[in-house]
Amino acid sequence: MSTSSRPCIRLASASPRRRELLAGIEVSVEVRPMDIDETPLEGESPEAYVTRLAREKAAAGHRSGGLPTLGADTAVVRDGEILGKPADAEQAAAMLGSLAGRTHEVMTAVAVCGPAGMLTRCVCSRVTLREIDAAEIEAYWRTGEPADKAGGYAIQGRGAVFVTHLEGSHSAVVGLPLCETADLLSRQGVPLWNRPVS
């Protein structure tokens, strides 16, 4: 872990998963979630949607000055439709049932606003789930894990038992593409692993 507790960046997200991923590369953060309107625009593609939200979060968080600010957004996409978080067991069952036995996309955009301006990347991964019967879906819902997860499952948790194939970035599906994030942070002068950028 980093020897310094001084924040390197501002994280415009309340996601504990994004905080944990950044901690894994020893980037200390000041957590400051941004409350922005997340309503998709008419005709907006999923990629444009997550990219816009990531940029808006980073820009809003950076307005107070000081630290470079990272914003990110993730969407589970089925046949071009963005799937949100299930509101109840019935919605979770319908959502996960529609993803079972097939491949869907997970799009995560990350934006970092800092000395180099606004830098953005979007990563699209493809996730294949096995067939899941109704009893399994019900049991999974009772664990509490799907309730706050887009698409109704968590690849980093119990939901991993449903995943048969991943094409792309595991960390992006969790919520933050680390390879691309590290590149953006380095371009903003943010050190990784508590070492200065050369």
Residue 194 in any domain: the answer is no
Q: What is the CATH number of the domain that holds 142?
A: 3.90.950.10
pLDDT at position 148, please? 86
Residue 193 in any domain: the answer is no
Considering 35, 73, 79, 133, which one is annotated as catalytic?
A: 73
Catalytic annotation present for 133: no
Residue 114 in any domain: the answer is yes
Counting the structural domains of the chain, the total is 1
For residue 11, the Cα-to-chain-centroid distance in whole angstroms is 12
Residue 198 in any domain: the answer is no
Residue 2 in any domain: the answer is no
Helix (H) or strand (E) holding 74: strand 69-78
Q: Is the dihedral angle over the CA atoms 158, 75, 28, 12 positive or is it negative?
A: negative
Residue 192 in any domain: the answer is no
Tens-binned pLDDT, residue by residue, of the chain (198 aa): 334 467 799 999 999 999 999 999 999 999 999 999 999 999 999 999 999 999 999 999 999 888 999 999 999 999 999 998 899 999 999 999 999 999 999 999 999 999 999 999 999 999 999 999 999 999 999 999 999 898 999 999 999 999 999 999 999 999 999 999 999 999 999 988 865 444
pLDDT at position 2, please? 39
Residue 196 in any domain: the answer is no
- Count CB atoms within 10 A of the CB of residue 10: 25
pLDDT at position 64, please? 81
Residue 174 in any domain: the answer is yes
User: How big is the chain by its Cα radius of gyration, in Å?
Assistant: 17
Which structural domain, as residue segments, surrounds residue 76?
A: 9-187
Q: Does residue 170 come out as left (phi exceeding 0), alpha (psi in the -120 to 50 range) or beta?
A: alpha
